[in-house]
Structure 1
Amino acid sequence: MTQTTAEEIVDIFGPDSMLRRLVNDARWGLAVTRATVLEAAHPQIGTALIENSTFVTHPWRRLRNTLASMQRILDPDHHVRNREAARLNRLHARISGTGPQGRRYDATDSEARAWVVATLFESTVTMYRLSGESLDGAALEQLYAEFRTFLALLEGNSDQLPATLQEFWPYYDDMIDHHLESTEAVRVIVYRLFANVPAPPLLRNHPAVWAAGRAVAGPMAAAITIASLPESFCRRVALPDLPGARALMHGAYLTAGFATRLLPNSWVHVSSFMSLLDPDHASGSGPWGTVRRKAGQAAAMLRLITPAPDKINQATRSADQFFAEVLDQTGDGYLAWPDLAAMAREIATRLDLDEQDEERLYNAYAAWWRDLQTNLDTDGDGRVTRQEYAAAAASLPSPGLVKVADVLFDVTDVDDDQTIDAQEYQKLFRTAFHRDLTGRADNYSRSAFVRQFLSFMSGQQHSIAYNSLLS
């Protein structure tokens, strides 16, 4: 077994690390998206994504959390890296079960985790090549060594990936040709995610603008992603070869490559891309300030010519809307344990909880789930439908939900002074990506904090803060 020491990781993820540069390169999003499709074709990973992931209903939140996690993993301080690796391992240890076809999945499976790293490496190499920036032998060796070290940080070793770059390519081809399948997760990403991705924070209040843009950008993104995948893989999982898609794909990658090489770093840095999507990020300033202003002007124009939405029966649909927008985290139309686990996972990620506090939070959500099953699951099928929730929504909150509120207060109150101050409030309720929620100077007592949480989670009171966290 090959062990990697903390000192070796410090060295390989130092100032010259290729991965550390990539995580701040907005172009890498092309590689990550492509890799996600290849990951989803792995039977275990695909089943785990469908059963537990919120990547379809909350893609921007998933993007923000993935970025934050990668930056922690590649932090110069090995204590930060080790803490994040331990957190990811705890997160994955909670994701296991049996899919609809009786297939077992386990997010800690070492072979599946190695495939995730393998797809990221190969997709990164492909990104460079298609962007007109092929890597030489030394750079390829360095990049592969860094990805193997990344796996070792999570697994304790990198034995599941071939030891050398020469051995990697036969392994990769064998996985493509003999081990991947046309999973539901692949179909969801290709045919549903791109077509139905919700508006980013910048355009959340301008649905007409987003709908118009998505109608064009969605099919283009799907076509670019499919065309960039290995041809043998596309044949294996029956993805279409769309006319003109390869030319479009090459154009998109070359444009991204030229932008990276020619534009100032501030324009292509991932933080600039995030700020473009974040309406609260220094409005009007920075390299993308003009783009944000133009988007706002277009939205204002469309509001003038678009009829106002029908507000009839909004009150009678409130419970149903709350179910869809907040409770159904996985977007499968039902409320089940994976939905509540996703809420706990988001809060634990935001607050970067240690193992003890994380366990308390998950246990509280588990207690709430037992209450929901007892009180709302009228047919005993192990999940709650929208109709079951709407019929009994008035009976909430339950003792389990009160326990969640109490634990949430405890883990947010870092200094243990029985008050949520402005800094603690902002850490929990920061808005999209890395931007903090500003303008809150109030201190919350336990009773006030718990009361606000229960009012929101029972669907009785709208809250911008909790919407930013859970919806």
Structure 2
Amino acid sequence: MASVQPVTRDQLIAQLEEMKGQVINPAAGIFGPDSMFWRVIRHSASFVGAGRAVLLQTAHPWVANGVKQHSRTLDDPLGRFRGTFTNVFAMVFGNLDQVVNSSLKVHDIHRKIVGKVEEASGAFADGSRYMANEVNAMIWVHATLWEGAVKMYEMFVGPLTAEEKERYYQESKMFAYLFGIPEQALPPNWNEFLEYNEQMWYSDQLSVQAAAQEIGGFLFTFSPILKPVLNRYEIITSLLLPEPIREQYGMTPDTPRSRQLFERNIRLIKRVYPHLPNHLKYLPPYIEAQRRLKGKHTPGLVTGTLNKLILGQSALVSA
């Protein structure tokens, strides 16, 4: 097990001050319209891989126990989704003040997420202490999102060159800084970042135990009305997962039949996605941010309505 490296609020503030000095256009935030990060993350197709990201995250015992013991996920999944992505989207698409405010807000929320692992899980002993504001655990959550976003982009939008992936990864380090993760703790380049992910899949750092199983089961059964959609989504998610994680969750195996169903659903999404209007193809906060940079400080009717539906508020990054 890697040595525990908690991040204090003072450490985070010092890192944010250093990061702010690297920002060229505060109105655009830490990335901006010319960044690879916006180019990749803006696509709503990323949410096809959301289940994969969640299950990879909760395969880490610290994450699974933190979610189970401190979150509203099982009682109020929509509220948990909104709480998480309101801050994530503000960090990615907000102006510099919004980015910093969301960073501090998330740190303060995570500061309260401490506890004990409920059962022995891989490298983590029963009763051992976990904390959300810890470098190694945060790197893993960060990695599942940004590796998965590229996977979804290439699946539904188009291929990226090695140079584009490298640029995207170097930009993603700015997001890691918002959690107090120091650059020296991160893999130095895209290829080593991929190696880190693959090593984690096969390591004792990930171990699917009762807390993770409970969250995973809920993910595909939370709404009887949506059961036909969730059944399809479960197959997609299962076959997107690395084999050792899929097996630990006991999900649909990669058989000729399940692969056929997977490919059929992916083909359908690929056929439909390019023809969607921009308001559905791109995330509402991305469209809102583009309007902000043109001097329009309201989200617009369609974007505001979608923001309200998805995030519970009509304006997120318009200021």
Q: By the TM > 0.5 criterion, same fold?
A: yes
Cα distance between partner residues in 2 of 1:47 and 1:286: 38
Matches within 5 A, 1:132-147: 133-147=158-172
Is 1:217 aligned to residue 229 of structure 2?
yes
5+ unaligned residues in a row in structure 1: which ranges?
A: 198-210, 273-284, 290-429, 437-471
Is 1:190 aligned to residue 68 of structure 2?
no
Are 1:228 and 1:246, in contact at CA under 8 Å, matched by a contact in 2?
no
CA separation of 1:52 and 1:217: change in aligned 2, threshold 3 A? same
CA separation of 1:48 and 1:122: change in aligned 2, threshold 3 A? same
Q: Secondary structure at the match of 2:44?
A: coil
1:258 CA drift (Å): 4.0
CA separation of 1:166 and 1:219: change in aligned 2, threshold 3 A? same
CA separation of 1:177 and 1:236: change in aligned 2, threshold 3 A? farther
| 1:197-256 deviation per Cα after TM superposition (whole angstroms, max 9, x unaligned) | 4xxxxxxxxxxxxx4x42312222212111111123323554330653333333434443
Match of 1:246 in 2: 259
Match of 1:262 in 2: 275
Q: Secondary structure at the match of 1:105?
A: strand
Cα distance between partner residues in 2 of 1:184 and 1:115: 20
Cα distance between partner residues in 1 of 2:254 and 2:243: 12
Is 1:163 aligned to residue 188 of structure 2?
yes
Is 1:127 aligned to residue 169 of structure 2?
no
Cα distance between partner residues in 1 of 2:148 and 2:76: 23
Matches within 5 A, 1:199-210: none
The letter for the 2-side match of 1:270 is L
Cα distance between partner residues in 1 of 2:98 and 2:176: 16
1:433 to 305, 311, 316: 311
Match of 2:65 in 1: 47
The letter for the 2-side match of 1:196 is F
1:90 to 103, 108, 127: 108
Q: Secondary structure at the match of 2:208?
A: coil
Q: Secondary structure at the match of 2:185?
A: coil
Q: Secondary structure at the match of 2:115?
A: strand
Matches within 5 A, 1:35-74: 35-74=53-92
Matches within 5 A, 1:321-360: none
Which structure 1 residue ranges, 4+ long, deviate > 6 Å from structure 2? none
Is 1:232 aligned to residue 244 of structure 2?
yes
The letter for the 2-side match of 1:183 is Q
Q: Secondary structure at the match of 2:177?
A: helix
Q: Secondary structure at the match of 1:15?
A: coil
Q: Secondary structure at the match of 2:130?
A: strand
Matches within 5 A, 1:13-24: 13-24=31-42
CA separation of 1:257 and 1:21: change in aligned 2, threshold 3 A? farther
Cα distance between partner residues in 1 of 2:250 and 2:184: 32
Cα distance between partner residues in 1 of 2:93 and 2:233: 31
Matches within 5 A, 1:25-40: 25-40=43-58
Are 2:37 and 2:171, in contact at CA under 8 Å, matched by a contact in 1?
yes
Match of 1:371 in 2: none
Are 1:225 and 1:249, in contact at CA under 8 Å, matched by a contact in 2?
no
Match of 2:22 in 1: 8
| 1:351-388 deviation per Cα after TM superposition (whole angstroms, max 9, x unaligned) | xxxxxxxxxxxxxxxxxxxxxxxxxxxxxxxxxxxxxx
Cα distance between partner residues in 1 of 2:181 and 2:218: 36
| 1:28-72 deviation per Cα after TM superposition (whole angstroms, max 9, x unaligned) | 112333111101001211111111121222122222222321221
Equivalent pairs: percent with the same residue?
Answer: 24
The letter for the 1-side match of 2:38 is R
Structure 2-normalised TM-score? Answer: 0.74
Between 242-251 and 46-55, report the one with greater CA deviation: 242-251
CA separation of 1:20 and 1:90: change in aligned 2, threshold 3 A? same
The letter for the 2-side match of 1:113 is M
Cα distance between partner residues in 1 of 2:83 and 2:38: 17
1:77 CA drift (Å): 2.2
Cα distance between partner residues in 2 of 1:95 and 1:56: 16
| 1:73-120 deviation per Cα after TM superposition (whole angstroms, max 9, x unaligned) | 124521211111011111100100113331321001110000011111
Q: Secondary structure at the match of 1:27?
A: helix
Are 1:131 and 1:258, in contact at CA under 8 Å, matched by a contact in 2?
no
Match of 2:289 in 1: none
Matches within 5 A, 1:437-448: none
Q: Secondary structure at the match of 1:163?
A: coil
5+ unaligned residues in a row in structure 2: which ranges?
A: 1-10, 120-126, 286-300, 315-319
Cα distance between partner residues in 2 of 1:236 and 1:80: 39
Are 1:41 and 1:182, in contact at CA under 8 Å, matched by a contact in 2?
yes
- Find the structure with the greater CA-based Rg: 1
Q: Secondary structure at the match of 1:8?
A: coil
1:23 CA drift (Å): 4.7
CA separation of 1:9 and 1:184: change in aligned 2, threshold 3 A? farther
Instruction: Tell me which of the two structures has the higher relative contact order, counting C-alpha pairs closer than 8 angstroms and 6 or more residues apart.
Output: 2
Match of 1:113 in 2: 138
Between 92-101 and 72-81, report the one with greater CA deviation: 72-81
The letter for the 2-side match of 1:190 is G
Are 1:27 and 1:257, in contact at CA under 8 Å, matched by a contact in 2?
no
Cα distance between partner residues in 2 of 1:172 and 1:23: 19
Are 1:25 and 1:268, in contact at CA under 8 Å, matched by a contact in 2?
yes
Are 1:13 and 1:76, in contact at CA under 8 Å, matched by a contact in 2?
no
Cα distance between partner residues in 1 of 2:112 and 2:72: 15
Between 155-164 and 17-26, report the one with greater CA deviation: 17-26
